[in-house]
Amino acid sequence: MRIIAGTAGSQPIKVPRNLTRPTTDRVREALFSSLGEKVIEARVLDLFAGSGSLGIEALSRGAASAIFVDSSEEACRIISENLRKTCLNGGKVQKRNISAFLSFSTTQKSFDLVFADPPYARDEETAAQLEDLLKNAALQRAISPQGILVMESFAKTPLPDSPLWEVAKEKTYGKTRVSFLTPQS
């Protein structure tokens, strides 16, 4: 796995073993191509960060800052290593449960881009986790009015309805669906 473009372009990064399903280079390249200039100077939140590839890619492409949140100690250690290795500034790692982080650590309209790559909803537990995230009002409050929530999910499982988010665009890459969501007014 590597950073695709920007100041850390082509730098290899580590991935936690058996804990994550990292976003492939192809999907990251398409995702960031869709975001274009929105990444520059953005304040980024990377939830279920895993290796940190999405937030690190954003920093490499000119994001102002990125907070990486994951509940795994190994993932947080690897994200920290990846940030050091790429020499990118503005990254901060939080070892926290996602719901707890959103409830206690976010301020209103803090983030321009939020990446969420929760475990794919293949069973009741992971489906409930995805639904809980989309119904979390703290997440909606944490995003700026023109902000975007970029959600990865299993392509064969429909994204749960949420009164908080509007789907602006969706793309499917193999088994991965990438949804670009904006806050409902």
**Model pLDDT for residues 153-169, shown as the tens digit of each residue:** 888 878 888 999 999 99
Least confident of 12-21, 28-37, 44-53: 12-21
Evaluate whether residue 7 is within a structural domain: no
Report CA torsion sign: 120, 97, 45, 93: negative
Evaluate whether residue 81 is within a structural domain: yes
Please, which residues have CB within 8 angstroms of residue 120's CB and are 6 or more apart in sequence?
A: 21, 126, 153, 154, 157, 175
For tokens 């392509």, name the residue.
Answer: 155
Evaluate whether residue 164 is within a structural domain: yes
Domain that holds residue 53: 25-183
pLDDT band at 105 (very low <50, low <70, confident <90, very high): confident
Q: Tokens for 27?
A: 């999907």
Evaluate whether residue 94 is within a structural domain: yes
Evaluate whether residue 2 is within a structural domain: no
Q: What is the CA 55 to chain-centroid distance, rounded?
A: 7
Domain count for the chain? 1
In the chain, the percentage of residues whose pLDDT exceeds 70 is 91
CATH of the domain at 94: 3.40.50.150
Please enumerate, as own/partner, the contacts of 171-177 that have beta carbons within 8 Å and a separation of 24 or more: 171/30, 171/34, 173/24, 173/26, 173/27, 173/30, 175/120, 176/23, 176/24, 176/27, 176/152, 177/152, 177/153
Backbone angles phi, psi at 151, to 5 degrees: -115, 130
- For 47, the 3-state DSSP assignment is strand
Evaluate whether residue 43 is within a structural domain: yes
Evaluate whether residue 12 is within a structural domain: no
Least confident of 35-49, 100-114, 171-185: 100-114
Evaluate whether residue 13 is within a structural domain: no
